[in-house]
Amino acid sequence: MHSKSFHGLLLLSATLVPTTPAFAQDESAATIPEPKANTGVVAGAVAVAGSGAVSGDTIMVTARRREETAQEVPVAISVLSGEQLDATGAFNVQRLQQLTPALNFYSSNPRNTAINIRGIGVPFGLTNDGFDQGVGIYVDDVYFARIASATLDFLDVDRIEVLRGPQGTLYGKNTTAGAVNITTRRPTFDFEGSAEVTFGNLGFKQAKASLSGPLADELAARFAISSTGRRGTIYNVTSNNWINEQDNLGLRAQLLWQPSDDVEVLFAGDVSRQNPECCAQIYVRTAATQRTLDRQYDALAAAQGYAVVSTNPFDRLTDVDAPLNADNEIGGGSVRVIWDTGPGTLTSITAYRYWDWLPENDRDFTGLPINTASNNPSQQTQYTQELRYSQKGENYDFLLGAFGFRQEVRTEGLTRFGPAASRWLLAPSNALSNDPSVLDGLTANNDIRLDNTSLAVFGQFTWQVSDRLSIQPGFRVNYDKKVGLYDSVVVNGAGELVTFASTDPRIVAQRGVASPQRFAPKFSDWNFSYDLTATYRLGDDVHGYATYAKTFKPGGVNLNGVPNDAVGNPILAAGTVLPESVAHYEVGVKSQFWDGRVTLNLGAFRTDIQNYQALVVNGQFGVQRGYLANAEAVRTQGIEWDVSIRPTERLNAYVAGSYTDATYRQFADAPCPPELSGGGSGAVIGSPGAPGTNSPANCDISGQDLPGISKWVFSYGAEANAPVSFLGQESEVYVGVDANTRSGFSSNPTPSIYTQVGGYTIANFRAGFRSDDGLNVFGWLRNAFDAQYFEQLAVPSGNTGLIVGQPGDQRTYGLTIAAKF
């Protein structure tokens, strides 16, 4: 079990808890028309899980790179304050999806993480480094190229804005599905601080602390630290240890220099580290495939005298025998300069980010030595430079920007097979299947590289045609270039190179399991995109808007291997994928009633995508991670609604929901589901799951659902409080509930009867006490009814019929003590 020192941070947090003067809000930098720190309950925001800690304050969002309330923004947007994140236990993006219905998060480990909005963003499945994300992650205006960053804890967050729909005409990197815009708390020229400690079952321990204040008349600093630890949720009987644990540490420091009323410079640096023993997916069930019976899971396991430790995944037991590790470190620094030139504002953001990933996995998901190592350690560096100029006139405003992005990814990985591999992976008709030495020690060493360059100019103009009508056109010109390398060298246990030139029966058998391959794909392209939004004020607090956007997602290169032809050469045409062409339509109404006590927002959208970038899986075991290809057409459409009500300062409630219909409109050359895989080739195709019959080379899944998307999702909750007096101070006690209900979804790129995840409801409760001087003590209960659900299911390579998955967290409970001063 991995561990790190938690006690030092706990001691630091504890020293900051004593009763202190009331917390003072940041009112610095008021002259700079860029993001400022705020606290409190979001007024008029969407999908808000109100904590009730402060009433009457409004968090200003910066979705359009200027400060305004969420109700003024003609974009579908969900906003959560830092207080609300703390109250609901949403300390990372995985928890955030319970509060924002349109956001989907799936992760089998930090690298293999997907964030989708309205069902689109990245292909569902194992990660390929050679394509762009459709959902942008931004932290204080800095673009994070790796979604792995989203698996780390939020650190000193002021608010999070989840923007739905294309955002390329206002944001540095083009994003076709939406953006997660995270704003941290800024340094203040008034001294302030916070501390929080949490204890729970499963050994859960979390501590957070921050300090902010002046260093000189023109200089202020802020420092924040966070640590999270939890015992694993799955017990490994092989290592006699709990795995899939949490072990996170994050640090962030900022220095704000304001030499004049017109200029500010913000220096920021951060580092976050995860080091858990993770991440295992465990046995869920077996599926009937079209393999012969002696090559399906039950027969293969019986032939080696193997029985899984438990066939009930909610026993949370596994016997995987390879080492597990998910060491993940992300960090970097940035400099943001804002200059109020008089007519307008010039902003420059210069940033460097790095990402180091050191994994160890057991890719056979069993206690047998089939795959004894499957490790792809990876290092990424990125440099970004963004310039923006904005100006506001009497009846217009505009923003012009330029963005440069440079990314380098270097991966040195290996896959190694053990003595059980021969019987498991070679056909029983092959005499070599009874010889453990044939595949024992077989190793594929992979050298994977990516150099990625992106340059863009973008802009948006708003014309206030009348008191009621405004027109907002935007544009983006983008250049992308990707240069990749995939070089897999295969060596057998005797140290011999495995090549396609050899006719040795042992080499022939070995290359059928791990085939050597080398290719260097390249892609470059120019793209132009644009959008047009019309906004009309239907009443004093009722705004309608309509948007059309024509945009794109850049093409990509395959960096996990591609199919070989009959003589063993890589099929180079599969080395690149075409850009996605996206047409997006949206209409919505944002309204408030009863003197702002009720917010009601409705929206409808449709997104049509040509050349959708999808994950496909080749039948050759040697490219077990699958590769990217283009589906001809995809469509996602739906409706969304958000209602929040605060009839008094003692009660608030909300309900947000979405209906999403996302389907492949045309995908004739898709991979087949397990029930139509593993059989022979021939004109007569067998019935699904009929052993020993022929399988189709591919399947037409036109009209079927995209993976990972629940058609119906609801987030809802409420909080009530009552005044009390404590030590002569006005205080309050409160109770709250937040819940999320979602319908079932497909958990495989091609829908399968074996990988359909059933719908479920997660309900969380809290009750506590908070005082006006910043003390907050509350108990919490998450997944209160101990719902048994899967975060995702997966089909391992080889078509044996094994289905594995990740059970969601069981019921957890704990106590949080927090203070602000």
Q: Are 278 and 244 in contact (CB under 8 A)?
A: yes
Most distant pair of Cα atoms in the chain: their distance: 89
pLDDT for res 2: 54
Joined tokens for residue 130: 């050679």
pLDDT for res 780: 97
Q: Are 338 and 263 in contact (CB under 8 A)?
A: yes
**CA gap 406, 352 in Å, rounded:** 10
In terms of Cα–Cα distance, which of 397, 394, 543, 398 is closest to 468?
543
Joined tokens for residue 677: 């895989």
Alpha helix positions (H), 31-182: 82-88, 93-96
In terms of Cα–Cα distance, which of 125, 170, 174 is closest to 145?
174
Q: Are 562 and 521 in contact (CB under 8 A)?
A: no
Within 13 Å, how many C-alpha atoms sit on residue 431's CB side?
A: 2
**CA gap 425, 161 in Å, rounded:** 48
In terms of Cα–Cα distance, which of 323, 363, 303 is closest to 798?
363
**CA gap 798, 523 in Å, rounded:** 31
Joined tokens for residue 290: 């079209």
Joined tokens for residue 607: 């997104």
**CA gap 30, 316 in Å, rounded:** 53
pLDDT for res 28: 32
C-alpha distances in angstroms, 55 versus 461, 567, 722, 730?
34, 70, 14, 14
Q: What is the CA radius of gyration of the chain?
A: 27
Sites in the chain below the pLDDT cut of 70: 1-60, 63, 125-126, 148-151, 617-626
Q: Are 50 and 84 in contact (CB under 8 A)?
A: yes
Task: Report the sign of the C-alpha dihedral through residues 232, 237, 238, 241, in that order.
Answer: positive
Joined tokens for residue 220: 């202020």
**CA gap 485, 468 in Å, rounded:** 54
**CA gap 64, 350 in Å, rounded:** 20
Q: Are 228 and 202 in contact (CB under 8 A)?
A: no
Give the DSSP letter string of 385-431: EEEEEEEE-SSEEEEEEEEEEEEEEEEEEEEEE-TTHHHHHS-TTSG
Joined tokens for residue 394: 């009497």
pLDDT for res 329: 92
**Could you identify the residue written with the tokens 């409080």?**
721
Burial class (CB in 10 A: 0-12, 13-18, 19+), 164: buried
3-state helix, strand, coil in the chain (%, to 5): 10, 50, 40
**Chain centroid to CA 253:** 24
Joined tokens for residue 544: 């309608």
**CA gap 110, 577 in Å, rounded:** 24
pLDDT for res 482: 97
Domains and CATH numbers, the chain: 7-820 (2.40.170.20)
**CA gap 72, 61 in Å, rounded:** 10
**Could you identify the residue written with the tokens 């994950």?**
615
DSSP label of 60: P
In terms of Cα–Cα distance, which of 115, 179, 177, 181 is closest to 154?
181
Residues in Cβ contact with 490 at an 8 Å cutoff, skipping those fewer than 6 apart: 442, 443, 444, 445, 497, 498, 510, 511, 514, 515, 516
Query: Across the chain, what does the average pLDDT equal?
Result: 87
Q: Are 575 and 521 in contact (CB under 8 A)?
A: yes
**CA gap 134, 151 in Å, rounded:** 17
Strand order of the sheet with strand 802-807?
Answer: 282-286, 802-807, 790-794
pLDDT for res 35: 35
pLDDT in tens, 472-504: 999 999 999 999 999 999 999 999 999 998 999
**CA gap 366, 346 in Å, rounded:** 57
Q: Phi then psi for 112, rounded to 5 degrees?
A: -90, 70
Q: Are 194 and 158 in contact (CB under 8 A)?
A: no
**CA gap 609, 551 in Å, rounded:** 10
**CA gap 225, 209 in Å, rounded:** 5
Give the DSSP letter string of 297-331: HHHHHHHTT---S-S-GGG-EE---S--EEEEEEE
**CA gap 114, 180 in Å, rounded:** 13
pLDDT for res 44: 36
**CA gap 554, 556 in Å, rounded:** 7
**CA gap 348, 216 in Å, rounded:** 24
pLDDT in tens, 594-638: 988 999 999 999 999 999 998 776 544 333 446 788 999 999 999
**CA gap 703, 688 in Å, rounded:** 19
Within 10 A of 588 (CB to CB), how many other CB atoms are there? Answer: 22
pLDDT in tens, 627-639: 788 999 999 999 9
**CA gap 236, 301 in Å, rounded:** 19
C-alpha distances in angstroms, 180 versus 63, 137, 161, 167, 517?
10, 5, 6, 10, 37
**CA gap 35, 23 in Å, rounded:** 20
pTM above 0.95, yes or no: no
**CA gap 629, 44 in Å, rounded:** 42
